[in-house]
Structure 1
Amino acid sequence: MTTCPPNAIGVGIVEGSIGGWAALGHVPALRALPGYGLRAVSTSRRESAEAAAKEFGAAAAYDNHVDLIADPGVDLVVVAVRLAHHKEIISAALAAGKMVLSEWPLGVGLAEAEELAARAEQAAVRTAVGLQARFAPQVSYARDLVAQGYVGRVLGTTLVGSGIAWGPTTDRGHAYLYDDANGATTLTVPTVHALEAVHQVLGEFADLQARLVRGRTEVTLAEDGGTLPVTAADQVLITGTLDSGAAASVLYRGGVSRGDNLRWEINGTDGDLVLTSGLGNLQVAPLTLEGGRGDDEKVAELTVPEKYFGGAAAAVTGPAHNVAQLYAQFARDLAEGTRVAPDFAYALTRHRVVDAVENASATGVRQHFRATATGEEN
C-alpha cells in the first residue's frame, strides 16, 4: 500500500469502488500526476472499501463519507456517487472546509445547484466540477484552429451524438437514469458534456429553441425481462444562435446508433472541421479530428500537436485522459491563483443552460440569455 506523497494534494474519493467510474477515470489520473496522492476511499460497505483501498493504493478505507471527510490527510473530496447524494456529501465537505471535485451534474436541478454553488462561495474553498470534455486534445486543438482562422468565419455547427444509456434495455443498477426526477438524463449528462466542448470551441448560445422527446415509454430490465416506465426524455434537440451569430444544432439520442454515434461539424467561410467517434459520450470518447480548407475537396485527419496532451497527463490514455487534464489544471490553478478549471460557479452556468432547454421545450418559446462565468444572465 502506498501513502500520500509529501506536499501533495491528499485526495479522498467518495464511492471509489473497484469497477466503478472512479476506478476507470479518477484513479489512473491521480496515479499519473505528481501533485496528488490518493489518501482515502469510501464505499457503503467496509469490505468493498478495504478492497478498493488495497487495489488503488489508498492509505485509508471508510464505509461512510463522514469519516473520509474528517480524515486530516484528505484535502480534496472527490464526489463520484449518484447524483441524488451530491447535495448531502458536498455540503458536508464544504462545511468541513475541504476542497471538492464533484462529478457533473452538480445537483439535481437548478435550485440545488444554486444552493451548492452558494455554499461553496460562503465556505471560500476551491472547487471543481467534472466537465472534462474541454480538455480533450482534439477539442483544444479545434478551438485554437478556429481562433486562428482555419475555417474563416464560422457559419454554423451541427453535432449529433448517442448517449449509450437510455436505450431499450438496462439493468436494475442503472434503471434510475430513466426517471426524470433523479436528474441524470440524456439532456443533463451526454448532451451537456458535448455542449461543453461546443462552448469552448465556438462560444455560448445567444438564444435557443429545444424539444425534449420521450421516444421510449418503457425500458426492459436485462435481469428478468420485466419493464419499467420511462419518464426521462431520450431525444434532445437544441437549435439556436451562438454569440458569434453562427447557427447551432445539437441532437442527442438515447442508446446507440448503427450509424455515427458522434459527429460534430464546424463549417466556415473558408473551411470545415469534423470531430467523430464511435462512442457518443464526447467527454470520454476517442476523438478523430479532420479538417479541410481552401481547394481541399474533402476533409483529412489532422495530427494534434503533442502540447495538447498535457505533460504528465499524456501518460494517461483512454477515458481517464481528460480527467487527468482537469486535475492538472486544478493543481495549476491552486499554485498560480488562477481559475481555469471549471468550478461550482461555472457549473451553475451549465445548469442554467439545462434550465433554458427545459423551459424552451415546455413552453415552445425561444430562450434569450447569456450565461457567464459569474452565473449572471442578461
Structure 2
Amino acid sequence: MRTLLGGTVLTVGIGDHMAGEYGVGLIGVNASRGWARASHVPAIQGLRGLRLAAVATRSQDSADAAARAFGVERAYGDAAALIADQTVDVVAVATSVPAHHDLITAAVHAGKHVLTEWPVGVDSAQVAQIKQVTASTSAHVAVGLQARLNPAVSRLRRLMERSAIGPVRNATIYSSTAAFGSRLSPSEVALEDPAAGMNLVTIQLAHTVDLVEVLLGQLGDITAEFRTQYPRPHVDGTDQRLQRSLPDHVLLQGRAGGTPVAVEVVGGRPPDDCPFRLELHGEEGRLDLRGGHARGFQAGSMRLARNGHPVDIEGGETTDLPESAVNTAGVYAALRDDIDSGTETAPSLNEAARLTRLLDAVRDAANGS
C-alpha cells in the first residue's frame, strides 16, 4: 500500500512479520520528561517480544537526545521517516492529539500496526474517520485506554464474573487529577484550547466512564453538570492569566447496565493528593478499588478490597515495571498477543468511537440538550 506523509511515499505490506519480536517506533517521546518517557519506554523495554527500535520527535536534535537516553539506534526528526523504517513493526503515537489522525492513518497504510494514546482524535467525527480508514487495512490498532488493563481491575472483573458480592445495586466513583487547576505549567497552556481535544472531559472523565462501562455495562439515562472552578488559571513563571472556557469539575449520574452510578471528576488537586475511589455495593458485600496519581488514576497502580479486606493482586509480566508503566504495558502486551494470534483483546477503535460518542452525550446532558 502507498500513502504520503511529509512528502515521503511508503510501500509496505502487513503480515510479513511472524510471531516473535516486534520493533516499536515511538513518536513523541522526550529524553527528560513527559508521559511517553515515563510509561511507553519502560513498558516497551520491559515486555518480552517487543523492542524499542526507533524514536521520532519534531526535531532531529531532540530525537537524537531521546535515542541516546533510551539506547535506541534510530532517531528521526520526521515521523514519516520512522514510519518508513523497515525495522519498525508497530508505530506508537504519543504526540499531541491533533497530530494523531495523520500519523495513525499513514502508519496503517504503510503496513504498520499501531498503538495510539487516548484521546484518539480531537472529536467523535475524527475518530469515526480514523476508524473507517483503518478498517480497510489488516492492521491491529490498539488504543491507550489503559486503566481497564490494570491488574487490580482485571482481578475485580473476575470477582464480578463470579458474583462475589451478588447483584451490584449501585456504584460511586471519585476521580481526580492535578491537571486543570488554578496553576498551569507553560506546557499545559495548549490544553486550554477546546480545539486541541485534550481536557478534563476528554481525558479524566473519559478514562473514568470507560472503566465504569467495562465493569458494569453501557451508560445511559445520563444527567451531568460541568463547572469551571478555576476560571483564571495562572501560567507558572509568567504574569499571564488565561480565561478558561472548559470545565475543571464534572458531576455525572446515570445507569450502567441498569446499575445506578454517581461519578465526580475533579481537576486541580494537589499533585501528592489525587485520590481515586470506586465503590461497588452489592446485595452480598462491597468491592472497593483505590488508587490515585497526579496524572489521574489511569497512570498509576490500584488496589482492591472486598468487604474491607485487601484482595491479592497478581501483576504477571508487568510486576517489575515502574508504577507509571504498568497499565500502558498491559495495552502493549495485549497488542503483541493480538498480532501473534489474530485476536482482538486490546482496547480498539470500535471502543474508542463508542467512548467519544458517549462524551458527546455527556456534553449534551450538561448543556441541557
Give the TM-score taking structure 2 as reference length. 0.90
Following TM superposition, by how much is the alpha carbon of 1:277 offset from its aligned partner in structure 2, in angstroms? 2.5
Deviates more, 1:314-323 or 1:274-283: 274-283
> What is the SS of the residue equivalent to 1:228?
coil
Following TM superposition, by how much is the alpha carbon of 1:259 offset from its aligned partner in structure 2, in angstroms? 7.1
Question: Do the aligned partners of residues 8 and 241 (structure 1) sit closer, same or farther apart at CA in structure 2, a change above 3 Å counting?
Answer: same
Picking from 321, 325, 336, the partner of 2:326 is 321
Establish whether residue 14 from structure 1 lines up as the match of residue 23 from structure 2.
no
| RMSD (Å), alpha carbons | 1.7
Asked whether the 8 Å contact 2:93–2:104 carries over to 1, the reply is: yes
Aligned residues: 348
In the alignment, which residue of structure 1 is the partner of 2:62?
48
Give me the identity figure in percent: 33
Picking from 344, 348, 372, the partner of 2:349 is 344
Following TM superposition, by how much is the alpha carbon of 1:20 offset from its aligned partner in structure 2, in angstroms? 2.1
CA distance in 1, matches of 2:225, 2:170: 20
Amino acid at match of 1:352: R
Asked whether the 8 Å contact 1:313–1:328 carries over to 2, the reply is: no
Question: Do the aligned partners of residues 165 and 200 (structure 1) sit closer, same or farther apart at CA in structure 2, a change above 3 Å counting?
Answer: same
Picking from 206, 231, 241, the partner of 2:255 is 241
Unaligned runs of 5+ in 2: 1-18
Following TM superposition, by how much is the alpha carbon of 1:326 offset from its aligned partner in structure 2, in angstroms? 1.3
Question: Do the aligned partners of residues 154 and 130 (structure 1) sit closer, same or farther apart at CA in structure 2, a change above 3 Å counting?
Answer: same
In the alignment, which residue of structure 1 is the partner of 2:40?
26
Following TM superposition, by how much is the alpha carbon of 1:125 offset from its aligned partner in structure 2, in angstroms? 1.3
Deviations 1:297-346 (A, max 9, x none): xx122222x2xx23x22221311011111111111111222101012222
Q: How do 1:98-177 and structure 2 match up within 5 A?
A: 98-177=112-191
In the alignment, which residue of structure 1 is the partner of 2:269?
256
CA distance in 2, matches of 1:336, 1:125: 13
Deviations 1:191-246 (A, max 9, x none): 11122222222222133121222222221011113201111111111110112x21
Picking from 183, 200, 206, the partner of 2:214 is 200
Asked whether the 8 Å contact 1:206–1:240 carries over to 2, the reply is: yes
Picking from 293, 303, 324, the partner of 1:288 is 303
Amino acid at match of 2:337: R
Picking from 94, 104, 121, the partner of 1:90 is 104
CA distance in 1, matches of 2:193, 2:231: 11
CA distance in 1, matches of 2:149, 2:321: 13
> What is the SS of the residue equivalent to 2:233?
strand
> What is the SS of the residue equivalent to 1:161?
strand
CA distance in 1, matches of 2:200, 2:36: 21
> What is the SS of the residue equivalent to 1:218?
coil
Deviations 1:111-141 (A, max 9, x none): 1111111111022311011001011111111
CA distance in 1, matches of 2:283, 2:358: 28
Asked whether the 8 Å contact 2:176–2:266 carries over to 1, the reply is: yes
Following TM superposition, by how much is the alpha carbon of 1:278 offset from its aligned partner in structure 2, in angstroms? 4.0
Establish whether residue 303 from structure 1 lines up as the match of residue 312 from structure 2.
yes
In the alignment, which residue of structure 2 is the partner of 1:39?
53
Deviates more, 1:113-122 or 1:14-23: 14-23
Amino acid at match of 1:361: A
Runs of 4+ in 1 over 6 A off after TM superposition: none
Following TM superposition, by how much is the alpha carbon of 1:35 offset from its aligned partner in structure 2, in angstroms? 0.8
Give the TM-score taking structure 1 as reference length. 0.88
Amino acid at match of 1:167: G
Asked whether the 8 Å contact 2:100–2:121 carries over to 1, the reply is: yes
